[in-house]
Structure 1
Amino acid sequence: MGNVEASRDSIERKSYYFIINPAAKNAGSLKIWKKTKEVLDREGISYSFALTEYKGHGIELAREFLQKQGDALLVAIGGDGTIHEVANGAAGFPGAKIAYIPAGSGNDFARGEGISSKPMKALGGLLHSDGERPMDLGFYQTSSSEGYFLNSLGIGLDAAITRAVDQSRIKYYFNKLGVGKIIYLAYFLWKVMTYKPAEMEVQIDGDYYSFTNAWLVNVSNHPYFGGGIKISPNAKPDDGIFHILVIHTIPRFKLLLMFSTILWGGHLKIKGVESYLGRTIRITSSNLAPIQVDGENVGAGETFIDMQKHMVKLAVQGE
């Protein structure tokens, strides 16, 4: 389990509220929470916790707690969907801070923030650090939902892959074997052969762009998505700017070949890959293309996105 200790000063200063997704990684998150709880109890650290029971529950739990408590450190234990919900719940509460102990299959937020993939090491870093830094959030609005995202919003192929993975019956078995990331690759190969590109119009800070045969438009606040795919290598979650990527007019076979370059960010130099910077974006598609935020499906067809600079505070997790 590792040797995790916290100073008595940090125990007195901090109020921890853990929000755990018990379904993450085939309930592996519950094992991580059990170990976390053992450390907290052993060190005499004051905390409270709650388990999410349905999609969106993490948002409700965070808001309810902050309305009563005011200032608090909200710690998500789960996957990217869990920290996504906690961040949405914390938005609008100036005294709130968020933190993350990765317990999912993708853990893209942890990867981008340099948070250890080893849960107990991530916990140790949290308990030993008093630092914090501001985080940008992207506000989004579709025909059926609205909210905030930490990592990215995508419309098109990436959202189709996310939807297929989310609905997959074999995801359980991939996670059971400890190879949950591979399922994204499997569905990428399938969707590249079956997905139909669309005409898309993209408005970025008042400038209009039109694309035929667009595979996807991705608006990134963070470098990673899809379990380690470095979609926007230069994106930073605290600089007040989105990195927008458009992939269009690329044949299917070339898109397959391009996948290996995405893993390290080399795709930005390929013809048919356009990149932009912006703060306010509107995207429409001709075929009601699906939309995802932080790996969660949120609608189809059209979306509005706006940068919300320094909307939440992230607890710095040191070594």
Structure 2
Amino acid sequence: MKVAALLGPSVKTAAIRRFQIHPDIQITPVEQLTADWDAALIFGGDGTVHRYLPQLHAFKIPVLVVPSGSGNDFAHTLGIHNSSIALQVWKGFCAGQTNVRKIDLGLIRKDKEETLFCCVAGAGLDAQANARANRMPTWLRGAGGYLVAALQTLIKLEPLEIHLNCECGCEKCPGLFVAIGNASRYGHGFKVAPKAALDDGKLDICLVRRMNKMKVLCCLPTIYFGAHLRLREVSYFQAPSARLDTRPRLELYADGEYICDTPVEISVAPGALKVISPKYL
């Protein structure tokens, strides 16, 4: 079996050795994928997964994510919380277990460009915090840096207006941020879309309207548990697609990466990715 190893920027090739469990399995570090690989191993975080989504989707290569980055929300959503769990899942796959499943991806359209994402796309407070966190040292990003960045961003946050249009209706209101999730979590564990499922053919949309900054400070930690849905300033709905615009124009981030500025159209791509995951999922 030919296996491509895709390494994140801080991962050494030595990480591959544990997964070389049989002489007939040839694992090779590569920079790009082609159609002739039987499987892929990603040693990295959400940003590394995001980078290879177009190739994984195009070639229909089953992929196992070994959480090794500063942000590993996608791997955690799949039930892979560390490299030991990833190794057990890999052993099952190599032994012929049926632990490959198809999951949805999100698709962002801006002008004539299309970008796939696996976790959450967002604009507003969360995206600005994301941008700030990306400038932090890697060790800090993995140790609550996103929360620190969100608090710093809140202090300087300017008023904004969010226009959201989907099959559930239209929303036009002063807001803090909007998050559109394929998965339930981002930002190192913030469960912004707690009802999201990776294979339901829908996006989960969380719109947070404007509230005073003191209330935001009190409520921000509730997102870790998905308890923010109880707030009257939060609207939450599911739809296969949505159009997002803002005043002023805002940066849109997805999987921790800058994608484009608003306005954008976002939709779900059903069954777009094959993942190797624990059998119980």
Is the TM value for this pair above 0.5? yes
User: 1:221 touches 1:241 (CA, 8 Å); kept in 2?
Assistant: yes
Higher mean alpha-carbon deviation, 219-228 vs 144-153, is at 144-153
Q: Equivalent residue for 2:235? A: 274
CA distance in 2, matches of 1:199, 1:138: 24
User: 2:78 touches 2:277 (CA, 8 Å); kept in 1?
Assistant: no
CA distance in 2, matches of 1:49, 1:185: 37
Alignment of 1:33-44 (within 5 A): 33-40=13-20, 43-44=22-23
* Counterpart residue type for residue 22 of structure 2: E
Alignment of 1:102-181 (within 5 A): 102-117=67-82, 119-129=83-93, 130=97, 131-142=99-110, 145-168=113-136, 171-174=137-140, 180-181=142-143
Once superposed, what is the RMSD of the aligned Cα atoms? 2.0
CA distance in 2, matches of 1:143, 1:302: 9
Q: How far did 1:173 drift? A: 4.8
| 1:253-309 residue CA offsets vs partner (Å, 9 max, x unmatched) | 111111121111110010111101101111001111110011101111211111111
Q: Equivalent residue for 2:160? A: 198
Q: Equivalent residue for 1:55? A: none
Distance 1:34 1:46, change over 3 A: same
| Secondary structure of residue in 1 paired with 2:222 | helix
Q: Equivalent residue for 2:25? A: 46
Q: How far did 1:15 drift? A: 2.9
Q: How far did 1:124 drift? A: 2.7
* Counterpart residue type for residue 133 of structure 2: V
Decide which of 34, 49, 67 is 1:83's aligned counterpart.
49
User: 2:146 touches 2:188 (CA, 8 Å); kept in 1?
Assistant: yes
CA distance in 2, matches of 1:172, 1:235: 28
Q: Mark the runs of 5 or more structure 1 residues left unpaired by the alignment.
A: 1-13, 53-60
Q: How far did 1:136 drift? A: 0.3
CA distance in 2, matches of 1:313, 1:153: 21
Higher mean alpha-carbon deviation, 120-129 vs 246-255, is at 120-129
Q: How far did 1:247 drift? A: 0.5
TM-score in terms of structure 1 length: 0.81
Q: Equivalent residue for 1:10? A: none
| 1:56-114 residue CA offsets vs partner (Å, 9 max, x unmatched) | xxxxx12xx22xx1x521211111011122222111334x2121001012200111111
Alignment of 1:259-270 (within 5 A): 259-270=220-231
CA distance in 2, matches of 1:224, 1:173: 20
* Counterpart residue type for residue 256 of structure 2: G
Q: How far did 1:51 drift? A: 5.3
Q: How far did 1:317 drift? A: 3.6
CA distance in 2, matches of 1:292, 1:317: 28
CA distance in 2, matches of 1:39, 1:310: 27
Q: How far did 1:145 drift? A: 4.7
| Secondary structure of residue in 2 paired with 1:153 | strand
CA distance in 1, matches of 2:109, 2:145: 28
Q: Mark the runs of 5 or more structure 2 residues left unpaired by the alignment.
A: none
Higher mean alpha-carbon deviation, 135-144 vs 231-240, is at 135-144
CA distance in 1, matches of 2:232, 2:45: 34
Distance 1:45 1:127, change over 3 A: farther
Q: How many residues align?
A: 276
User: 1:143 touches 1:300 (CA, 8 Å); kept in 2?
Assistant: no
Distance 1:290 1:201, change over 3 A: same
CA distance in 1, matches of 2:53, 2:139: 29
CA distance in 2, matches of 1:238, 1:172: 31
User: 2:78 touches 2:278 (CA, 8 Å); kept in 1?
Assistant: no
Alignment of 1:11-30 (within 5 A): 14-21=1-8, 23=9, 27=10, 29-30=11-12
CA distance in 1, matches of 2:42, 2:121: 20
| Secondary structure of residue in 1 paired with 2:5 | strand
User: 1:144 touches 1:298 (CA, 8 Å); kept in 2?
Assistant: no
TM-score in terms of structure 2 length: 0.91
Q: Equivalent residue for 1:285? A: 246
CA distance in 2, matches of 1:82, 1:297: 13
Decide which of 20, 38, 56 is 1:72's aligned counterpart.
38
